[in-house]
Amino acid sequence: MHIVFLCNEYPAPVRGGIGAFTQTLARQLVAHGHRVSVVGVYRNSCTREENDEGVRVLRIASRGPAGIRAIVDNHTLWQVVDALVKTEGVDVIDGPEMSFWNAPRSIGAPCSLRMNGGHHFFSAAEGRRTRPLRARLEQRSFKRAEHLCAVTNFVATRTLDLLGYSARPIEILHNPVDTRRFRPRPDVQAVPGRIVFLGTVCEKKGIRHLIEALPRIRREVPNAHLIVAGPEWFDADSGDSYTRHLLRTCNPEALVGVKFVGAVDHDAVPALLASAEVCACPSLMESQGIAWAEVMATGRALVASSLGPGPEVVRDGVTGLLCDPRDASTLADQVSRLLRNRELRHRLGQCARAEAEARFSVTAIATKNEMWFESIAWRGQGGFRATAHRTSANAVIG
């Protein structure tokens, strides 16, 4: 098959969650013998074609004038995709929630919209109003896409309810974790009392709730301390970082033993997780929770959130412990329980590793995506398998 992913975050210029996922899946699909093209628009970039381990990456320079840049750039993107379909043949076009609002109705290939948590989903989760234009474009994108998939049942049902499309069929395809990189590390000794938080340092990841639970945890486990690892979040209005907000507003007693290490290189994350006795990622909201799956793959004991997709990803008492992060005493009890019980940590970690390999490994997820793409490629008036010659980058992206 020839699969086209729509992605404006493909590494290396920038690295976001969707970009990392797309790269991981695209490389694996190429390894399985498929042809993969990734098309996206990038600011401060020139239009060019790259080869990433067999993945063809078409980067389109953003040229739209201020105010209507998104509209102009999206139009250019679909011109490139249309050229690929007509000159090379495309079996499936896959992209996130906002991808298809401007997709030509006669594009000639089936469009698969992949839900990772879009504008309606996170607006509702964070208790804020949707922006009228973004909301309309997202609704239009869902109408244009013939096929829907999502990273969890939770994000699927919640999003479709918010959009009023609850009757549409949907496929569940988890985001993958590289279980070869994220694996048990017997060469790394866990530091006694160490708790590791992994994720963007912002309110919705539950870091404030974890810090507020620390005094209760230390009363049970005096050597308990917390490593906070993840990129910084900045307030759009004030420009203030969330870390500074925490340092300014949290009880000084709660901040004792807390170390903020910032964003950690992706290759260094497995060793950091392995250094923990307990990993605590008590998010208030997630679409899937990649950090949860990465901890599970590393074989470390995990305390995750019972909110959102938590019970769908982590089996309470089997592959980790769940809690409502808004209840500081319950959160503290779950973390303390694991810090005090080495045997429980070991049992949960072993089960978590096995589950991660079975459900979230790159190989398992790529196979499920192949089956999904094959199932939609020939439905109705969908895509076609092309024999046209491969064109040059200049012919496709001008």
Please check whether residue 89 is in contact with residue 388, taking contact to mean a CB–CB distance below 8 angstroms. yes
Establish whether the linkage from the previous residue to 291 is cis, with ω within 30° of 0. no
Query: In the predicted model, what is the mean pLDDT of residues 292-301?
Result: 96
Q: Which residue has the tokens 């096929």?
A: 147
| Helix/strand/coil for 244 | helix
| CATH value of 194-359 in 3.30.565.10, 3.40.50.2000, 3.30.310.50, 3.40.50.800 | 3.40.50.2000
Query: Is the pLDDT at 395 greater than 50, yes or no?
Result: no
Query: In the predicted model, what is the mean pLDDT of residues 373-378?
Result: 88
| Helix/strand/coil for 281 | strand
Q: What pLDDT shows up at residue 378?
A: 67
Helices in the chain by DSSP H: which ranges? Answer: 17-31, 69-87, 119-125, 132-144, 153-163, 207-220, 242-249, 252-255, 269-274, 290-298, 310-313, 328-340, 342-359, 362-377, 393-397
Query: In the predicted model, what is the mean pLDDT of residues 195-218?
Result: 95
Query: Is the pLDDT at 26 greater than 50, yes or no?
Result: yes
Please check whether residue 162 is in contact with residue 140, taking contact to mean a CB–CB distance below 8 angstroms. no
Q: What percent of the chain has pLDDT over 70?
A: 92
Largest CA distance in the chain: 69
| DSSP-derived pairing of the beta strands 48-52 and 55-61 | antiparallel
Residues 6+ apart with CB under 8 A from 321: 301, 302, 303, 304, 334, 337, 338, 348
- The residue ranking higher by pLDDT, 168 or 270, is 270
- Domain borders along the chain are 2-176+362-384, 194-359
The two three-digit tokens of residue 12, written as one number: 């290396």
Question: Which of the four pLDDT bands, split at 50, 70 and 90, describes residue 266?
Answer: confident
Q: What pLDDT shows up at residue 382?
A: 43
| CATH value of 2-176+362-384 in 3.40.50.2000, 2.60.40.60, 3.30.1180.20, 3.40.720.10 | 3.40.50.2000
Query: Is the pLDDT at 253 greater than 70, yes or no?
Result: yes
CB atoms within 10 A of CB 44: 8
The full 3-state SS of 257-274, as one line of letters, equals CEEEEECCCHHHHHHHHH
Query: In the predicted model, what is the mean pLDDT of residues 306-330?
Result: 96
When mean pLDDT is compared across 68-72, 90-94, 326-330, the lowest value belongs to 68-72
Question: Which of the four pLDDT bands, split at 50, 70 and 90, describes residue 397?
Answer: low
Question: Which of the four pLDDT bands, split at 50, 70 and 90, describes residue 165?
Answer: confident
- What digits encode the pLDDT tens for the residues 150-164? 999 999 999 999 998
Q: What pLDDT shows up at residue 12?
A: 61
Please check whether residue 277 is in contact with residue 107, taking contact to mean a CB–CB distance below 8 angstroms. no
